[in-house]
Structure 1
Amino acid sequence: MIVGIFGSFIPVLPGLSSSWVGLLLLYLTKTVENNYWVLGITFVLMVIITILDYVIPSRGTKKFGGSSYGVWGTNIGLIVGIFAPIPFGVIIGPFLGAFIGELMYDSQDHKRALKAATGSLLGFLASSFVNFLFTVVYLGIFLNVAWEYRNIFF
């Protein structure tokens, strides 16, 4: 569960999916009754939010006036940023990708390129915030279930 919380901020770690695996492991113990509804609903939410993690930054670029070049730049920058050796590559990568993509589209319009890159950054930050919120909710579910069965665990 803790890896999930950190993973919501550090994109290299799988945040929400780690939290879901923590819930799954809790429910797989012999002392806790299986609740397939909780596991199923949290799994579906995890899949949807994981997909949105890759969609939201490019939508932010588009919302702030970016072209398809900026959207592609955002996606390429996100992938490059994951493997970049710099500490904040996942944040800087989509921003620079959108900026460079927009400059390739129209090399004269720096303001438009910067606006599209800002949309990419805001999309990434919004995505990280949603991820963090859901990892905290999953932690709350985990703690609630563990509290219900505390006499068995301790």
Structure 2
Amino acid sequence: MIALYWALVAVMVVGIVGAIVPGIPGIGLILAAVVVWGFVKGFAAVSVALPVAIAVFVVSIGVDFLATYWGAKKAGASHWGQIGAIVGFVLGFLGFLPTVPIGGPIGIIIGILLGPLLGAIVGEFLYRKDLLLAVKAGMGIVVGSVLGNLLQAIFAIATVGIFLYTTVPTATGS
């Protein structure tokens, strides 16, 4: 039982990383680990951690959208820039960016980081025909996304901390 507990904590650590790094499951992974522990030990064991994890999961979805929107709005980006950022993310994740000749996980991470920026710039440029405005809008979208990811990381760390605080004594028999 203790091995399962620490394996779930390891999954939660991956969830913390995923809250920061796009393309890796984040807070949803933490929520899933809490639910698994609830099934194993009974949901009374996660009576504090589960509602916190659910609330943080819902809030993190909102943070994702609002941070990107805020960054885009502050930089004056249009919907074309936002759509371009999404397309750029998908292309970067799939490794279709010509600027990413490196394959494997490193290439995917680079593509995930560069894709939204390049996509936002291309989308804005197609809409406005002004490269300077397009770059400014692209940077705004990326800055908003990064700030949102950092906020999600703080939420993820807090959620795992609450889980550990409320479950370690019963999981380890202390």
Q: Secondary structure at the match of 1:29?
A: helix
Runs of 5+ consecutive residues of structure 1 not aligned to the other structure: none
Match of 2:123 in 1: 101
Structure-1 separation of matches of 2:63 and 2:32:
19
TM-score relative to the length of structure 2: 0.74
Q: Name the aligned partner's letter for residue 62 of structure 1.
A: K
Equivalent residues of 2:27, 2:56 under 8 A apart? no
Structure 2 residue 64 is matched with structure 1 residue 43: no
Contact 1:16 1:50 in 2 (8 A): no
How far apart, in 1, do the equivalents of 2:158 and 2:17 lie? Answer: 14
For residues 44-86 of structure 1, the C-alpha deviation after alignment (integer angstroms, 9 at most, x for no partner) is 3303313542453244223211122212212222222322252
Runs of 4+ in 1 over 3 A off after TM superposition: 34-38
Could you tell me which residue of structure 1 aligns to residue 38 of structure 2? 27
Partners of 1:105 and 1:126 in 2: CA distance: 26
- 65, 76, 87: which one pairs with 1:76? 87
In the alignment, structure 1 residue 92 sits paired with structure 2 residue 103: no
RMSD: 2.4
Query: Which residue of the other structure, out of 144, 150, 153, is the alignment partner of 2:165?
Result: 144
**1:116 to 2:116 alignment:** no
Deviation at 1:35, TM superposition (A): 4.5
Structure-2 change in CA distance of 1:105 and 1:31 (3 Å): closer
Report % sequence identity.
Answer: 27
Aligned residues: 152
Residue 8 of structure 1 is matched in structure 2 by 19
**How far is 1:96 from its partner?**
0.7
Where does structure 2 lack aligned partners over 5 or more consecutive residues?
1-11, 96-102
Distance 2:55 2:92 in 1: 27
Question: Distance between the aligned counterparts of 1:88 and 1:57, measured in 2?
Answer: 19
Instruction: Give the distance between the partners of 2:171 and 2:52, measured in 1 at CA.
Output: 24
How big is each residue's C-alpha offset from its partner over 1:79-134, in whole Å with a ceiling of 9 and x where there is no partner?
22322252322221111111001111122x22211110110110111121022111
Aligned mates of 2:127, 2:172 — CA distance in 1: 63
1:133 aligns with 2:144: no
